[in-house]
Each structure stands twice: as C-alpha cells, then as structure tokens.
C-alpha cells in the first residue's frame, strides 16, 4: 500500500502508519511540530483538544527534511508575492500577531493553492486537504488489489496492532495514540511500559 503512494501523500501515509497519527493530525502538522533531534512529533490539539508526543520513525527523518526544503521554497515564493500567511487559532493569533507569517508556523503539508480564509478574507495557504490523501489511499488500495475496505485510518490501526504484537505495553500504545481511555486501546491487545523515545516505529522495520 505505502509503495503505491507518491509525493506528499506517501509521506503522510508513512506518518499514519509509522507514528500512529490521525489523518487530520498529520495534515495539520506545523514545521515546528517535528523535533528531529529528539525523534519526536508533537501533536497539538488532537482529538478531544489534547496535545501528545509520539515517535518519529528514523527512516522518515531525511525524507521529511528534504520535503521541508521544498515547502520552504514555496513559502519564500509566497512571501515575495505578499502572501505567506497560515491559519492560527484566535488565542495564538492575538498573542503573536506576526506568527502567521513565520516559518515555524507554516504547515508541513501545505495546500497546492492559496485561498481566502473564511471570516476575515485574508489569503492563506491552508494545509493539504484530508480528502486528497483519502483519494490517494483508495487508488493505492485498488492498485494493490486489496480485497478489504482501506482508509487512511487503517494505517493508524495497523500501527497500534503491530506495536502490540511486538510486545509493547498497552498503556504506552494508549499514550502514543492519544486515547483518553485505555479501554479504547484494549481493542488491539496486550504489551511493556516504555516511553515514546524507547519504542521503535513499525515503519522502521519495513
């Protein structure tokens, strides 16, 4: 499945399986969300308005750095044209009025076009639409002739299942997935209590 994806959709798919992200969490990642030195991803305002830290697969570090170089080129072109703004939550926008044009707040997976922000009319480059990734996954599933219903969320389920099969503790997996209740994680199975940095991503085993 992953090998049949390409471009940014390939990277997003790898993050869903390699880090256990939800599709909306992946496309909303900001430049500063990934800590390459610590090998971690900071997920802000995930489901239930919760923040969490999950792993960054080692095999994704270089591809993501190269991807960011291309994103930065696009950002600099936008700046020269008088754009370069991204959406920020109201509290952040008020506290840091210039942050919307700063590099660290740019989306890691930007949209291919600039569009008007609803409400204030500011022209922004939003993040990639989840539907774009969903379509790419559907097409990849058909190409791979997989006889099951496959969505981007399938990668997240596989992330959890494969960690549990590898013997990791259920509460570690719960933390990485961002589940409030361990009962939600229990649908996958059992496992060894280690922190996010000690867990090896299943993507690194491919």
Length of the chain: 206
| Domains of the chain listed by start with CATH number | 2-72+130-195 (1.10.443.10)
Q: What is the pTM of this model?
A: 0.83
pLDDT single digits (tens) 152-161 = 999 988 898 8
- Please, which residues have CB within 8 angstroms of residue 79's CB and are 6 or more apart in sequence? 101
pLDDT single digits (tens) 4-18 = 999 999 999 999 999
| Nearest residue to 133 via CA among 150, 152, 114 | 152
190 has a pLDDT exceeding 70: no
CA distance 192 to 206: 22
Q: Which two tokens stand for residue 200?
A: 């090896």
pLDDT value at residue 192 = 40
| Nearest residue to 202 via CA among 42, 39, 20, 6 | 20
Instruction: Give the catalytic positions in this structure.
Output: 22, 47, 153, 156, 179, 188
How confident is the model over 151-178, as a mean pLDDT? 87
- Please, which residues have CB within 8 angstroms of residue 46's CB and are 6 or more apart in sequence? 22, 25, 52, 178
> Which range among 29-38, 67-76, 97-106, 166-175 shows the weakest confidence by mean pLDDT?
166-175
3-state SS class at 68:
helix
pLDDT single digits (tens) 15-61 = 999 999 999 999 999 999 999 999 999 998 767 678 899 999 999 99
Reported as a pLDDT band with limits 50, 70 and 90, residue 196 is low
CA distance 20 to 14: 9
pLDDT value at residue 200 = 74
pLDDT value at residue 197 = 55
């Amino acid at each position: 499945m992953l090998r049949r994806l390409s471009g940014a959709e390939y990277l997003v798919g790898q993050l869903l399986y390699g880090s256990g992200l939800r599709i909306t969490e992946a496309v909303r990642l900001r430049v500063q969300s990934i800590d390459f030195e610590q090998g971690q991803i900071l997920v802000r305002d995930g489901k239930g308005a919760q923040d969490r830290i999950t792993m960054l697969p080692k095999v994704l570090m270089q591809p993501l750095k190269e991807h960011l170089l291309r994103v930065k080129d696009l950002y600099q072109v936008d700046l020269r044209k008088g754009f370069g703004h991204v959406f920020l939550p109201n509290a952040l926008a008020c506290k840091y009025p210039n942050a919307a044009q700063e590099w660290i707040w740019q989306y890691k997976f930007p949209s291919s076009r600039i569009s008007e922000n609803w409400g204030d009319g500011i022209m922004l480059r939003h993040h990639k639409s989840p539907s774009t990734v969903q379509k790419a996954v559907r097409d990849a599933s058909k190409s791979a002739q997989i006889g099951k219903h496959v969505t981007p969320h399938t990668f997240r389920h596989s992330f959890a299942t494969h960690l549990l099969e590898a013997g990791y503790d259920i509460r570690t997996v719960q933390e990485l997935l961002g589940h409030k209740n361990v009962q939600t994680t229990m649908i996958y199975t059992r496992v060894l209590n280690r922190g996010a940095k000690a867990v090896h991503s299943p993507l690194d085993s491919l």
